[in-house]
Amino acid sequence: MAKTFKRILVGVDDSADALLAFDYAIHQAKRDAAELIIVSVLEHDDMNVYQALDSDYVHGERDELKEHVQRYQQQAEDAGVANARMVIAEGEPGETIVKNVIPHVQPDLLVIGSIAKKGVSRYFGSQAAYMAKYAPISVMVVR
């Protein structure tokens, strides 16, 4: 018998793989009548040192990201997910999700794309590999 999940965490960053992961998570959440938590991480290494030190800049970036992730939440609800919410975190995505987000929201499945949109973590072997290795829950890596 297939395992059912009660709380699914999906990471989004607008990469093609993350969009596929998001679609998979919606399908799984509907199938299991699970809660869907959509997480995105504000990465400080995308900012220069002056931007990172400017709290107004960081606040603006965070607000922009929150607005963006709200569109994912709306899309999940429009697709028929009864219980969807979002989490915005800050830091290194893999480590932040494993060490902060998972203990906080206590999901039983993490769904992520294998390739990040930007930066050094573009290839599988970085963020996705870190989460697959260290997450204390089941991890579905979508490509």
What is the pTM for the complete model shown? 0.88
Token output for 41:
């991480």
- The CA distance from 76 to 27, in Å, is 9
Task: Decide: 142 and 113 in contact? Cβ < 8 Å.
Answer: yes
Dump pLDDT digits (tens) for 19-65.
999 999 999 999 999 999 999 998 877 667 777 677 787 778 889 99
Cα atoms in the Cβ-side hemisphere of radius 13 Å centred on 38: 29
Token output for 89:
């975190």
Query: In the prediction, which pLDDT does 120 show?
Result: 46
Task: Decide: 126 and 44 in contact? Cβ < 8 Å.
Answer: no
Task: Decide: 94 and 119 in contact? Cβ < 8 Å.
Answer: no
122-131 long-range Cβ contacts below 8 angstroms, 24+ apart: 126/94, 127/92, 127/93, 127/94, 128/94, 130/94, 130/95, 130/98, 131/11, 131/94, 131/97, 131/98
Dump pLDDT digits (tens) for 134-143.
999 999 999 8
Residue-averaged pLDDT of the chain? 88
Query: In the prediction, which pLDDT does 116 show?
Result: 61
Domains and CATH numbers, the chain: 7-142 (3.40.50.620)
